[in-house]
Structure 1
Amino acid sequence: MTPDEFRELYERLRRQAPGEAARPAVDDRCGALRHLTPERVAAAAAEVRLGRSVSLAAPIDTVRGPDDPEPAVHRMTGPSPGDVASGALCFATDRFAMNVHGDADSHLDALCHVVFDGELYGGVPAGTVTAEGARSLSVSLVENGIVGRGVLLDIPRLRGVRWLEPGDQVTPDDLTAAEAAQGVRVGPGDLLFVRVGHRLRRTELGPWNAAEARAGLHPAAVEFLAEREVAALGGDGNNDTAPSAVADVAFPVHVLAIHALGIHLMDYLQFEDLVPVCARAGRWSFLCAVAPLRLTGATGSPVNPIAVL
């Protein structure tokens, strides 16, 4: 995609952003979550038939690797050997820290995460993000969680491969073909999850520098999200390919989805536990609950989405 084609697509999608003219205040801007109405949340409960819950998050990694140069840090702070030896009441305690937007751990991107043309989503000035945190569009917009109908489209399954190789791209035709092959259709307010097999490849072949080479969506696929009025998008990679499909725009899918459409993204999930459950059940939709941490002013959060079938 040429830079001019990307710019035209960006402007077209931005004009389609939900409720753009109806937002009375910056902090009321919830973006594409406006598609996720109370009626659609209630209807999503009907997806539960097996009573089976499955995590869509990968285990948090504390080991340095080529895709994780700043791994999460987990440190035990108690009890001390003396506490244990004393026989008195004591507690096991620990501390945890992580780089939220890395290339290994499952996380959710807030609407303040992408700065493009000097602005955040909806024309909010980029200066609202300061050293003290984001004053607008932070992860606190979803402090009550994102709950709705989840749909998993498995692109390696469609193509008859175990995973897509780094650099490969998921097209709009791939998404519609996966729908047909799996007997499911993505609709308004859905939480769409697109599997490229990144996590399986990493598990079997070992980690690599995903910042330089990874499979993901082609920018044109974001039109599919807009047409179907998707509320949130999650992938088992970064959602963007590397190298980028657009010269001079490193993360075109992030720009189009977050900045133009106001879609919350979830990166580096894992679907290897969910795929066999969906395959055995013969259906690829489910109730999904996404619960980020309740943080103030944060640009994202570690996340553990739960699919309930």
Structure 2
Amino acid sequence: MTGDAFRSLYTRLRDGARRADPRGALRHLTPERVVAAAARVRLGRTVSLAAPVDTRLGPDNPEPAEHRMLAPAAGETGAKGLHFALDRIAMNVHGDATSHLDALCHVLYDGELYDGVPASTVTPEGARALSVDLVAEGIVGRGVLLDIPRLRGVPWLEPGDWVTPDDLTAAEAAQGVRVSPGDLLFVRVGHRRRRDELGPWDVARERAGLHPDAVAFLAERQVSVLGGDGNNDTAPSVVADVAFPVHVLAIHALGVHLMDYLQFEELAPACADAGRWDFLCTVAPLRVPGATGSPVNPIAVL
């Protein structure tokens, strides 16, 4: 995609989205749609969409999360009386091995955030607008999983490959599901399965994701949240001089919250066993004032 074509797509999506709403695309997720999503629960089965927090140094994890035990102290495990086990976790929220949610303040483009908010509102003390505070009450709605490797008959998409709008509509038809306004859309490319079976690699250089044209699908269906088992963006980027075009289009133009580096290796077979690819989904970000994102453990309820 040329730079001019990307700019044209960005302008079309931005101008077509209703602005002046700090919730962004979450405006499509109405209370009525939450109630309808809850009514979709049939089995009462819960499935996590998050990968385990990775504390190992690797080519895709140069800043691994730190998990350090603080207590009990030596000798306390066998001592009488009351003692506590304590630990501490520290992490790069937006790391390439961490399941996380991107707030609407995460993407700065042309000196602005989503909806024309000045980028200067992101300060060393935190973001004064469009931070993860917007979803402090959580996100609950109808989740839909579109499994692209299943559609193509492969275990995963190879790094550098991308998902097109035609892939998304073909997956809908193959799985007997349709993405609707307010949905939380999850697109599987098989990133986590490839990592588990072949080992980690430098995903900053090469990874599977969505083609920028696929973001028009999100706008047409009025999707509220997009989640992927990779970064959602393909690498190398298909757009010259824009390293993360899907992030720019989804977050900055449409106001769609993104979730990166989830994992669907339990969800996909659970959906297949249940014979349905939609479910109630709950997302509970940490309440960190002014944060640009949060680690998350989304839960699907079938």
Question: TM-score, with normalisation over the residues of structure 1?
Answer: 0.97
Matched, 1:187 2:199: no
Offset at residue 83 of structure 1 (A)? 2.7
Offset at residue 81 of structure 1 (A)? 1.1
1:88-107 correspondence to structure 2 within 5 Å: 88-107=81-100
1:16-27 correspondence to structure 2 within 5 Å: 16-18=16-18, 20-21=19-20, 23=21
Q: Which segments of structure 1 move beyond 3 Å, counting only runs of 4 or more? A: none
Q: Among 28, 41, 47, which residue is 2:40 paired with? A: 47
Q: Among 146, 154, 161, which residue is 1:161 paired with? A: 154
Q: Deviations over 1:168-207 (max 9, x none)?
A: 0000000000000000000000000000000000000000
Matched, 1:213 2:237: no
Residue equivalent to 2:13: 13
Q: Among 27, 35, 42, which residue is 1:34 paired with? A: 27
Residues of 2 paired with 1:84 and 1:167: CA distance?
A: 50
2:75 match: secondary structure:
helix
Q: Among 82, 103, 106, which residue is 2:75 paired with? A: 82
Residues of 2 paired with 1:200 and 1:227: CA distance?
A: 30
Residue equivalent to 1:58: 51
1:194 match: secondary structure:
strand
Amino acid at match of 1:3: G
1:47 match: secondary structure:
coil
Residue equivalent to 1:226: 219
Amino acid at match of 1:299: T
Residues of 1 paired with 2:209 and 2:230: CA distance?
A: 7
Residue equivalent to 1:125: 118
Residue equivalent to 1:151: 144
2:96 match: secondary structure:
coil
Matched, 1:243 2:242: no
Matched, 1:3 2:28: no
Residue equivalent to 1:278: 271
Larger displacement relative to structure 2 (275-284 or 81-90):
81-90
Residues of 2 paired with 1:89 and 1:174: CA distance?
A: 58
RMSD of the TM alignment (CA)? 0.7
Number of positions where the alignment pairs a residue of Structure 1 with one of Structure 2: 302
Residues of 1 paired with 2:120 and 2:76: CA distance?
A: 49
1:254 match: secondary structure:
helix
2:146 match: secondary structure:
strand
Residue equivalent to 1:26: none
Offset at residue 85 of structure 1 (A)? 4.0
Question: TM-score, with normalisation over the residues of structure 2?
Answer: 0.99
Offset at residue 52 of structure 1 (A)? 0.3
Offset at residue 130 of structure 1 (A)? 0.6
- Identical-pair percentage: 78
Residue equivalent to 2:286: 293
Question: Can you give the 5+ residue segments of structure 2 that lack an aligned partner in the other structure?
Answer: none
Residues of 2 paired with 1:3 and 1:225: CA distance?
A: 21
Question: Can you give the 5+ residue segments of structure 1 that lack an aligned partner in the other structure?
Answer: 24-28
Residues of 2 paired with 1:231 and 1:241: CA distance?
A: 21
2:69 match: secondary structure:
strand
Residues of 2 paired with 1:228 and 1:248: CA distance?
A: 28
Residues of 2 paired with 1:159 and 1:265: CA distance?
A: 24
Amino acid at match of 1:42: V
Residues of 1 paired with 2:140 and 2:82: CA distance?
A: 40
Residues of 1 paired with 2:105 and 2:214: CA distance?
A: 22
Offset at residue 87 of structure 1 (A)? 1.7
Q: Deviations over 1:65-108 (max 9, x none)?
A: 00000000000000101333432211000010000001111000
1:82 match: secondary structure:
coil
Residue equivalent to 2:103: 110
Q: Deviations over 1:195-241 (max 9, x none)?
A: 00000000000000001000000000000000000000000000000
